[in-house]
């Protein structure tokens, strides 16, 4: 099949039911977080109570380099385990409406924010790189340390925030995850949706200008 050009690729995406042009950041509540706590997190992100609001999504330690590997990464320029680790990012899902319903049900989600995918891409967001562990993990020894070591390496530091490893106990490809490295500052007008229960629309309406962003209750997905 010949390679498609940019216009053809966009048209194909628009007409594909499994493609989404939204990137959504959700607040999970399957860990015991209450509705009040989740609502407070979204209000804090939006900085909704400040006189001069400065909305900000704070980055967290993420992914394979943050939790599964040694903090010491092989540096090919020095031949030593002194490589830089960059493992903080903000996470989004490129889910369709049916995908958001699945996230809502599994993670007990009621609150979230959604941006246009092209907007976040223009700011530096990128899809996660989901790579099987055998392509990343290697055994080696060093001349100054004969003990065999497992190395998680060969990933430039700029790519590290976007790496997910796939192995027997972990496979997040279904999340269709995107990330933005470091904290993400934005304006209310940059949002497309604020997800919250209908009874809280009045509280969140402060972020709207001419009804944008749209306030949407994720419970309504059962009617779509």
Domain boundaries, the chain: 20-50+59-223
Q: 34 is written with which tokens?
A: 């209450």
Output the pLDDT for position 133: 77
Express each pLDDT in 97-114 by its tens digit. Answer: 889 999 999 999 999 999
Would the pLDDT of 3 be above 90? no
Query: What's the pLDDT band for 223 if we cut at 50, 70, 90?
Result: confident
Instruction: Go through 85-123 and write b for each residue having 16 or more CB atoms within 10 A of its CB, e for each that does not.
Output: bbbbbbbbbbbbeebbbbbbeeebbbbbbbbebeebeee
Instruction: Please give the mean pLDDT across all residues of the chain.
Output: 85
| 105-124 average pLDDT score | 96
Nearest to 39 by CA among 31, 30, 52, 29: 29
Residue predicted with more confidence, 85 or 211 = 211
Highest mean pLDDT among 111-115, 133-137, 148-152 belongs to 111-115
d(CA 77, CA 50): 47
């Amino acid at each position: 099949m010949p390679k498609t050009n940019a216009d053809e690729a966009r048209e194909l995406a628009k007409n594909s039911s499994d493609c989404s042009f939204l990137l959504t950041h959700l607040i999970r509540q399957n860990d015991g977080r209450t509705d009040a706590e989740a609502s407070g997190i979204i209000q804090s992100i939006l900085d909704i109570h400040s006189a001069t609001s400065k909305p900000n999504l704070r980055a967290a330690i993420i992914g394979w380099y943050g939790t599964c590997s040694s903090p010491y990464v092989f540096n090919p320029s020095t031949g030593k385990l002194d490589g830089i680790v960059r493992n903080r990012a903000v996470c989004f899902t490129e889910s369709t409406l049916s995908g958001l319903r699945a996230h809502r049900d599994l993670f007990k989600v009621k609150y979230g924010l959604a941006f246009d995918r092209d907007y976040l891409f223009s700011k530096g967001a990128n899809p996660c790189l989901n790579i099987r562990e055998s392509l990343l993990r290697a055994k080696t020894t060093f001349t100054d340390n004969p003990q065999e070591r497992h190395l998680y390496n060969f990933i430039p530091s700029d790519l590290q925030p976007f790496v997910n490893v796939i192995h027997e106990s972990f496979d997040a490809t279904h999340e269709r995850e995107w990330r933005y490295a470091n904290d993400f500052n934005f304006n209310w007008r940059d949002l497309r949706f604020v997800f919250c229960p209908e009874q809280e629309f009045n509280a969140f309406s402060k972020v709207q200008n001419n009804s944008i962003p749209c306030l949407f209750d994720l419970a309504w997905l059962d009617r779509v």
